Structures are given as structure tokens and as C-alpha cells.
Amino acid sequence: MKKLMFVLVALAVLAIPSAAMAGGPGGKGRNGCTTIQDGTLLTSDGNVITTGYDEWGYNYQAHMFNGMYCDYHPIYRPGGPYHEWCQANYGDVKLIMKWNDAWLSNKDCTGDGLLDRHYGFDSYIGSGAWTTNHMSGGKGKDHWTYFVKIIAVPEDAILEGDIWYTADGIEIGPEIWGAFAIIQEVESGTGVLYLSPAGPGLGNR
């Protein structure tokens, strides 16, 4: 279960930054940023982003996804190259993803027509970005859940092997995608799989 869930989570989390918002020049809000309410920001498949949930389960304004696993990315949706595979293997898996503004903003303040990521930072490192994934599937005695927290590491974090540490040597968590660390994993039937010695809190680094 753990290996399977980790693979699912890895794909799900990557979908947040890779579900890039492609947008053309649009109106600017009073703070100089293009917002979803301006109606000019688009999803990666060309649909206008609106407030509230879209048909797949994304609410970009609220920084969350609440839907089926096979709907989180276009490659798994109807017409996508992996739709049948996903339905056969994970068709009953529900997924809730949440993230903060540093992970993927709900506005464009840089003027590039995209929803901002790690605004004000050259990369995710040091940005304070975080995301959580909560997955569930099965029925009755076969019902399962899996939850994970992932953060962008601080600028002074040190990577040793595949583990990130704070500058004073406290373990943050296993490295994932270079700039990130897993700080908590919980699985039904097993309980806590991992808890960061540096603490599982979000937004405190």
C-alpha cells in the first residue's frame, strides 16, 4: 500500500505546478495583478479559469482540488492517452489536494500570463510553498486512506543523501523533486508512516 500510495501522491503533487495556467494579456486588478476574476487566465487545455470548482474538481481561487484521481490531469481524463489505464487501476480513488499561494497562486503578478509560482523567489527553495494530498479508495473492509504533507525546504537547508536537514542539523524529511521534503505521511491501518523531527507544521519554515 505504501509504495502504491507514494507513486500516486508523487504524480498528484506534480500536477499542481505542471497544470500551468496559460493566459494572454488581460486586465489588471488594483494591485497590478491579473486575477481569475478578470477572466483571461486559461487552464493548460485552453479553458477559462473561473472562481469555484471546475468540472474536474479544481478550485484555483481556493487553492484546492477535490475530485477523482483520474480527473486531476488531462492525460488521465477522457480522450487522454492514459485514461483507460487510470480508470482500470485507480478509477475509484478520490483525491483532495490543497496548496498555498507560494506553491501556485491564484493570480499573475509578474505579467507573464501565468498563475504565479514561488512569487518573489528564484525557485521553490525558501519560498514557503507547501501542498497536502489526501487520497482514499475501496469500500467496506477494503477502504483505505493516505495523507501526505510536502514542503519547499528553507534556503539554508542541507541535503545529505536523500534527506533534507535544517542548518543546525535537524532532519526535515525525505527529499522529493529536489526542492521539496516530505514532512508527514499517514496511512489507514498503519498510522503514521513518517513524522518530521523538525515538525509537521506547514508555513513555519
Residue 43 has pLDDT above 80, yes or no: no
Report the b/e string of 17-31 with b at 16+ CB within 10 A.
bebebebeebeeeee
Mean of the pLDDT values across residues 23-27?
Answer: 37
Q: Rounded distance, CA 169 to CA 32, Å?
A: 41
CA distances for 79 relative to 44, 84, 115, 154, 178, angstroms: 15, 9, 25, 40, 32
pTM assigned to the model:
0.84
Q: What is the pLDDT of residue 76?
A: 95
- Residue 58 pairs with which residues in a beta bridge? 65
Percent pLDDT > 70 in the chain is: 82
Percent pLDDT > 90 in the chain is: 72
Q: Rounded distance, CA 83 to CA 91, Å?
A: 9
Residue 202 has pLDDT above 60, yes or no: yes
Cβ atoms of 98 and 89 within 8 Å: the answer is no
For 70, counting Cβ atoms within 10 Å of its Cβ (0-12 exposed, 13-18 middle, 19+ buried), the class is buried
Kindly report, residue by residue over 155-177, the tens digit of the pLDDT: 999 999 999 999 999 999 999 99
Q: What is the pLDDT of residue 144?
A: 96
Q: Which amino acid is at 191?
A: G
Kindly report, residue by residue over 69-104, the tens digit of the pLDDT: 999 999 999 999 999 999 999 999 999 999 999 999
Question: What are the structural domain ranges in the chain?
Answer: 2-20+37-195
Which residues, 6 or more positions from 54, have their beta carbon under 8 angstroms from its beta carbon? 43, 47
Q: What is the pLDDT of residue 203?
A: 67
- Mean pLDDT in the chain? 86
Q: Rounded distance, CA 193 to CA 186, Å?
A: 5
- Residue 158 pairs with which residues in a beta bridge? 165
Kindly report, residue by residue over 128-156, the tens digit of the pLDDT: 999 999 999 999 999 999 999 999 999 99
Q: What is the pLDDT of residue 132?
A: 96
